[in-house]
Amino acid sequence: TRAKRIIVAVYILCFASTVTTPHEWTVVPNPKTNNETLVLDYSSLGANNTYKKAFYWYTAVVFILIPLILLTVFNSFLILALKRSQIERNHLTQSSKLKSSTPFESGSQGPPQYRPFAQDGNRHKSAPNMHIEVRHHTDSTEEGKGNIFAAF
């Protein structure tokens, strides 16, 4: 797939970029300690000033500058997409409010207001705009006994 090819390409680029690093150094015995310790020194490649300048500029550009630029560009795309999404969401919310604000009955301004009352007659604090009245209907006929009607 495309993603696998990109991963392989990045791996090869990173490997090729750092393959010369071990060849920059050489191990030199320390004459003061009778070969008990080894000291790292520049190899002929590591001592070459042209190589040093080219390799370190390449490293700075490829591993620092390009990722920083790409991160900035992709973050900008992400921020723009989020702003567009927010604008679209606000637009859809506004159009939804316009559709839902159509009168329920001719001449009314919206849905009827209901206010629930507790048994003591006080309005419930949790739902101050709702009124529900429940009446127990007593009918003398057998089929109507015990029916509960709710009036809003």
Domain interval for residue 131: 108-152
Mean of per-residue pLDDT scores for the chain: 76
Q: Give the separation between CA 74 and CA 81, rounded to whole angstroms.
A: 10
Same domain, 114 and 91: no
pTM of the complete model: 0.47
Number of domains in the chain: 2
pLDDT at 25 exceeding the cut of 90 = no
Same domain, 85 and 113: no
Write down which residue in 83, 100, 117 finishes a domain: 100
The tokens 């003061």 sit on which residue?
32
Same domain, 88 and 113: no
Residue 57's SS3 state is helix
pLDDT at 56 exceeding the cut of 60 = yes
Same domain, 119 and 91: no
Same domain, 93 and 47: yes
Same domain, 17 and 37: yes
For residue 36, what pLDDT band results from cuts at 50, 70 and 90? low
pLDDT tens by residue, 81-125: 999 999 999 888 887 777 765 555 555 555 555 555 555 555 555
